[in-house]
Amino acid sequence: MTGARASTYRTLRRILLLFSGFSIPPGACVMRCASYSSHTDGDPPGCRFPHRHRTPDFATFSSLLRMSTKYKFQEIRSQIILDLLPAYPTQLSDYKTSSCLGEAIFGSPPPHPNSVLDLFVKCKVSFALSFAYYRTCVAGDPASLNMGAKDTILPTSIIKAALRGQARLKGEQVQLAKKLAMQDCKAWICLGKLPSSRAPVFNWILPEKTTRGGILEKEDFMGSGYCPQCLRTFAQGLSDAQKDTWDNLPSYFGLSSWEKSAAQTF
């Protein structure tokens, strides 16, 4: 590498370090000046910007990830990706307890799920791909996967994988709705014994007025007139379906298992 190219490479690495949450010694900062302080709320040169574990807006994050991946700045790339873990969980328990999921981690207004998925595919953020695909399928109108603004149009290969996964997710919902609605209740007094009671259960799992959301977003059935045994059956059936869906989510989109995907990322 020539002297000029080496100098450019080092400068680029310092800039990426500065913006990716790493602490840089004052002597190494490439933005030591009053303007730098104004961008960091008065923090002295050498501090982190943005503050560690505060994910930047999507445009900044995208640039950092693309450049650190292209030039193989592995420590920078790893730091950037690690801050995504709360929003793109790999375990169902983490999904249920996370306060910020998917594209919401990039602030308001959040980017389109398609844009995030496209970035993760191109930069091989493997651990987050399954949930990114899921967000693309359930966070908006499923029919718009290949429509919309230029930066939200997905390549054909991604669209095909997303549509396959979307079909599997919809199939899981249909099967769950049929299983729970057709159960045989033994109680003396319960709506579950009546054919008319099936509609509320179907609408709980497969709402008629919206295509958004999937099994993972469902909460316990809140209908009245059902016996405690029916309500327990509904809750257990939903819990089992959510676990099965989560465990199999990578395979719906033709991806490696959760464990292998995590190993491929870092």
Q: What is the pLDDT of residue 23?
A: 42
Closest CA to 53 of 28, 21, 11: 21
Q: Find how far residue 233's CA is from the centre of its chain.
A: 29
Q: Which amino acid is at 165?
A: G
Query: Are the CB atoms for 189 and 227 separated by under 8 Å?
Result: yes
Nearest CA to 118 among 66, 178, 50? 66
Nearest to 19 by CA among 62, 72, 107: 62
Q: So what's the pLDDT on residue 121?
A: 95
User: Which pLDDT belongs to residue 191?
Assistant: 77
Q: Report angle CA 77, 110, 107 to the nearest 5 degrees.
A: 70
pLDDT in tens, the chain (266 residues): 555 555 555 666 666 555 555 443 333 333 333 333 334 444 334 334 344 446 678 988 998 899 889 888 888 888 888 889 999 999 999 999 998 999 999 988 889 898 999 999 999 999 999 999 999 988 755 455 555 555 567 888 888 899 899 999 989 999 999 888 888 787 777 877 777 777 888 888 887 655 556 889 888 888 778 888 889 999 999 999 999 999 999 999 999 999 998 887 66
- Copy the structure tokens of residue 182: 């057709």
For the record, the structure tokens of 180 come out as 């729970």
HEC secondary structure over the chain: CCHHHHHHHHHHHHHHHHHCCCCCCHHHCCCCCHHHHHHCCCCCCCCCCCCCCCCCCHHHHHHHHHHHHHCCCHHHHHHHHHCCCCCCCCCHHHHHHCCCCHHHHHCCCCCCHHHHHHHHHHCCCHHHHHHHHHHHHHCCCHHHCCCCCHHHCCCHHHHHHHHHHHHHHHHHHHHHHHHHHCCCCCCCCCHHHCHHHHHHHHHHHCCCCCCCCCHHHCCCCCCCCCCHHHHHHHHHHHHHHHHHHHHHHHHHCCCCCHHHHHHHHC
Residue in 263, 259, 218, 253 with CA at minimum distance from that of residue 131: 253
Asked if 49 and 15 count as a contact pair (C-beta separation under 8 A), the reply is no
In this predicted structure, what is the pLDDT of residue 95? 94
Beta-carbon count within 10 A of 216 CB: 18
- Distance from C-alpha of 136 to C-alpha of 115, rounded to nearest angstrom: 9
